[in-house]
Structure 1
Amino acid sequence: MSERPKSSRDPAAGDDPVVFIVDDDPSMRRSLTNLLRTVGLRVEALGSAQEMLRCELPDQPSCMVLDIRLPGLSGLDLQVDLAKANVHIPIIFITGHGDIPMTVRAMKGGAVDFLTKPFRDQDLLDAVAAAIERDRKRRDSEKSLADMRARFETLTPREREVLALVASGLMNKQVAAELGLAEITVKLYRGQIMRKMRARSLADLVRMAETLGIRPAKPGVQT
């Protein structure tokens, strides 16, 4: 049986979470692959950090089980390179030679866990489950933000002005005075904004504005 199962780049592989194993020890890769498959996870087993850097990440929740000591680029260096490339795959470090400085560096870099060999199977499975859940939440949050930005792009320039002022805490009559509009016109704009942004309440709309970093234009500056 091939050590690497169906590639995560294969469309037929489905949308199940993917675990990348990066370890230069073939027996460890086989052992971890078999363990993770027992809980229904798809696995990509790689022998070096360079292979991981060349690998196309799947568009679904994933994580990496990464050995600290690797030929060429180390696991810790790979963590840094991925962060620089804005790749946010959660990492679980494994090592037979762990020490406190390594552990601190890994965890400060955002690692989910740091396991010293030999570790219990359940400890690894628990760490992988936590890592996949973290990645799933990140993806959901990014999708929600992208959807919110797309809705904001549908607003007219005037609606964006009104949104910024409303979100800053001004009442309708104050917004009207600020923009030289009738108060009823501001109310109409506000209703259109609520509908386009799919805001359930004013508080919801204010939260969206804060998330998007919307602020009123400075006096004399066109929005």
Structure 2
Amino acid sequence: MNVTWSWQRAADCLPVLLEGFKITLLATVLGFLIAAALGLAIAIVRRAGPRVVTVPVRMISEFIRLTPLVVQLLFAYYLLPQFSALQIGITVLGIHYSTYMAEVYRAGIDGVPKGQWEAAHALSLPMARTWRAVILPQAIRSTTPALGNYAISMFKDTPFLFAITVVEMVTAAQQYGARTFQYLEPITIAGVIFLVASYPTSILIRKVEKSLAY
């Protein structure tokens, strides 16, 4: 294996990595949408649901959050062979991260001043409208930076999809290296792409966090 950098090899492997990047990006975006919606649902259920519902939801959430993502991917992959590996990967990523986002949402909901609840009650607002028009806008506003950080974490966790045969960017780099016996360029470029894609997002999150602080 040649450990000397070659720009020609870098150019040759770039199209392969970009194809893998499309899968990485797709898994991140769809997984985040699932996680954000399901996490919000979990937080609302745990805050406002009856105990007979909240207790099982809390236990399931804790189980998912405290078990490795790779184990969950493999379990779903072998349990649900009728679905594609990518479908399973996106769904498991979303469910896994929804349990973390639910805690963020719950902290945001708990951070809404008690007076807001009392004012909505005094105005005889229906509970659904109280949540939709009063509580959730404030809670989601305060949790936006944390949700953005989880989006970046999910993006960096997509290489775990290799466990269920999804060819995302890192797996594409490894496969290219296995075919050519040249790993330096594909692995390095994959790392650079992760950095280039993540860094602007992290800067945006910091700006949002600062703007929300005022």
- Radius of gyration: which is bigger? 1
Question: Normalization by structure 2: what TM-score?
Answer: 0.26
The structure with the largest strand share of the pair is: 1
The structure with the largest helix share of the pair is: 2
Question: Normalization by structure 1: what TM-score?
Answer: 0.25
